[in-house]
Structure 1
């Protein structure tokens, strides 16, 4: 897979600059970086004695928890939609 369609931007997360590259739009990459920064800042504020690596692990767990919850909600909504579709087609 080539990198010719990848966007490359500089972002700041927890006061450190990173280069982020990916096929998504620059706006999307910035939004993702801002989310990570916000979660990192929240974790750092709640756990000021943890080193950056441990804060990053906690932030990753928080983000993964949100993802798993949203995936479950999505599956439940798909199931509900499927039930409603079957119900309306049998009328």
Structure 2
């Protein structure tokens, strides 16, 4: 059995260097790290006294909230699509 290769990349998140390893592409891992870094910086602007741990947890909570909202919207759109496909098309015949 052939083992899948993991990609490795060094990223900077909020001034700290981390090595990420995973099956995702390097570009995807950079994008994810950038999202986390951006969210931490956004939260730090409004809450400059937060320590790193609290900042990281708040960033994770905010990202999870965004994810769950988007997933709910996606599921609602799928239901709308399914309903629209179930309706008979307004076809006329002579």
Q: Do Structure 1 and Structure 2 share a fold, with TM-score over 0.5?
A: yes
Shift of 1:45: 1.1
**Count of residues in Structure 1 that have an aligned counterpart in Structure 2:** 90
Per the alignment, residue 25 of structure 1 pairs with: 25
Counterpart for residue 45 of structure 1? 45
Distance 1:17 1:3, change over 3 A: farther
The structure carrying a bigger helix percent of its residues is 1
| 1:8-34 C-alpha deviation (Å, 9 max, x unpaired) | 000000000000011000000000000
TM-score norm. by structure 1 comes to 0.91
What 5-or-longer segments of structure 1 have no aligned partner? Answer: none
Alpha-carbon distance change, 10 to 39 in structure 1, aligned in 2, over 3 angstroms:
same
The structural deviation recorded for 1:90 is 9.0
SS at match of 2:49: coil
> How far 1:88 sits from its partner (Å)?
3.4
Quick one: structure 1 residues 47 and 79, their matched pair in 2 at CA, closer, same or farther if it must change by over 3 Å? same
* Residue aligning to 1:70: 70
Q: Which runs of 4+ in 1 moved over 6 A?
A: none
Tell me the TM-score normalised to structure 2 length: 0.89
Counterpart in 2 of 1:85? 85
In structure 2, the gaps of 5 or more residues are none
